């Protein structure tokens, strides 16, 4: 990301599969030191070992992004390992929805805690404990939102509400930090082929009483390109936003969706 001799340090959440893992792999390939987390310690250690065995400067730990204490411990451990934070990628998230009148309180709160409140908690910790503002014009925050946060997803009210909140938070913080040189942007995937996408199709199949293949066909039919995006394609946009070339891109919510979203 920089011509400086000091490699940037990135935090990535939800990073052992899907978009998060693709982000980690692309960041380390461009010379960034990455400290990442996921819910399951074994998944983190396995991913760290694989990447370290390939010569990449990575490390990580498990973290419950819904917990302020867990988030603070994660960011402090990253600083202890690699130094002050340059880049934050808030990627951790979960699916969840159903017929709105039948959604239990616990599901609503967990989707919002995981997808929205975690972004605030992790960002606050990165700005304070992680000393991200010291990065100045090298500083980057990228939040993985969703086209669902712009245009809504039927039977996905908690998910859509949380992702809309991520977009609003992104734009507000971008304007707050603009004069520091730190940029803040959101990337909004549409349908992406990840483990979470499989769970989403399973949920819709159950709700609609059809096969998962039929759900996939219906979803593909809505996408102008006629296919899901890949995790690597989404990660490509995330990683672009961490580069020097993207220094004047801030307060944006950029779609990676095969034409599904048009604003």
Q: Where are the domains of the chain?
A: 9-191+230-256, 193-228
pTM: 0.94
Indicate the burial class of 117 (C-beta count within 10 angstroms; 0-12, 13-18, 19 or more).
middle
pLDDT confidence of residue 195 = 85
Average pLDDT, stretch 210-237?
95
Q: How far apart are CA 77 and CA 170, in angstroms?
A: 25
> What SS3 state is found at 171?
helix
Q: What sign does the CA torsion over 29, 86, 189, 158 have?
A: positive
The answer to whether the beta carbons of residues 65 and 118 sit under 8 Å apart is: yes
**Which of 159, 191, 204, 228 is an active site residue?**
159
pLDDT at residue 5 greater than cutoff 60? no
Helix (H, G, I), strand (E, B) or coil at 156: coil
Length of the chain measured in residues: 263
Within 8 A by CB and 6+ apart from 107, the residues are 96, 98, 158
Given a contact cutoff of 8 angstroms between Cβ atoms, the answer to whether 227 and 250 are in contact is: no
* Dist. CA 255–CA 188, nearest whole Å: 5
| Average pLDDT for the chain | 96
> What token pair was written down for 55?
């010569």
Q: Is 159 in the active site? A: yes
Query: Is 64 strand, coil or helix?
Result: coil
| Degrees to nearest 5, angle at CA 246 with 235 and 91 | 30
List, for residues 178-208, the tens digit of each pLDDT value: 999 999 999 999 999 988 889 889 989 998 9
Burial class (CB in 10 A: 0-12, 13-18, 19+), 229: buried
What's the pLDDT at 4? 42
Question: Cα angle at 126 between 121 and 152, to 5 degrees?
Answer: 45
Average pLDDT over residues 237-242: 98
Residue 1 pLDDT level (bands cut at 50, 70, 90)? very low
- Beta bridge partner(s), residue 187: 144, 254
How far apart CA 76 and CA 250 sit, in angstroms, is: 26
What would the pLDDT profile of 101-151 be if each residue is shown by its tens digit?
999 999 999 999 999 999 999 999 999 999 999 999 999 999 999 999 999
Q: Which fold has domain 9-191+230-256?
A: Rossmann fold (3.40.50)
Cβ-Cβ contacts under 8 Å for 237 (sequence gap 6 or more):
187, 254, 256
Pairs from 205-212 (Cβ < 8 Å, separation ≥ 24): 207/98, 207/99, 207/155
Q: What value does the mean pLDDT take over residues 45-65?
A: 97
Task: Please state the rounded mean pLDDT for residues 223-242.
Answer: 97
């Amino acid at each position: 990301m920089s011509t400086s001799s000091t490699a940037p340090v990135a935090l990535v959440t939800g990073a052992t599969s899907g978009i998060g893992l693709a982000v980690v792999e692309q960041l380390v390939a461009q010379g960034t030191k990455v400290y990442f987390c996921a819910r399951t310690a074994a998944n983190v250690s396995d991913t760290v070992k694989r990447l370290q065995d390939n010569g990449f400067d990575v490390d990580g730990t498990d973290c419950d992004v819904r917990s302020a204490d867990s988030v603070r411990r994660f960011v402090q451990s990253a600083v202890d390992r690699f130094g002050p934070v340059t880049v934050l990628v808030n990627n951790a998230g979960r699916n969840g929805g159903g017929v709105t009148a039948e959604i239990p309180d616990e599901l609503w709160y967990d989707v919002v805690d995981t997808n929205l409140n975690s972004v605030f908690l992790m960002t606050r910790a990165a700005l304070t404990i992680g000393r991200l503002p010291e990065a100045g014009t090298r500083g980057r925050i990228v939040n993985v939102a969703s086209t669902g946060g712009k245009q809504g997803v039927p039977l996905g009210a908690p998910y859509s509400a949380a992702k809309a909140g991520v977009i609003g938070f992104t734009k507000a913080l971008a304007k707050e930090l603009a004069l520091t040189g730190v940029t803040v942007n959101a990337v909004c995937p549409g349908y992406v082929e990840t483990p979470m996408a499989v769970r989403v199709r399973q949920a819709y199949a159950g709700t609609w009483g059809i096969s998962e293949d039929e759900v996939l066909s219906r979803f593909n039919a809505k996408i102008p390109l006629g296919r899901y995006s890949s995790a690597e394609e989404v990660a490509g946009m995330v990683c672009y936003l961490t580069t020097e070339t993207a220094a004047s891109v801030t307060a944006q919510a950029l779609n990676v969706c095969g034409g599904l979203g048009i604003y």
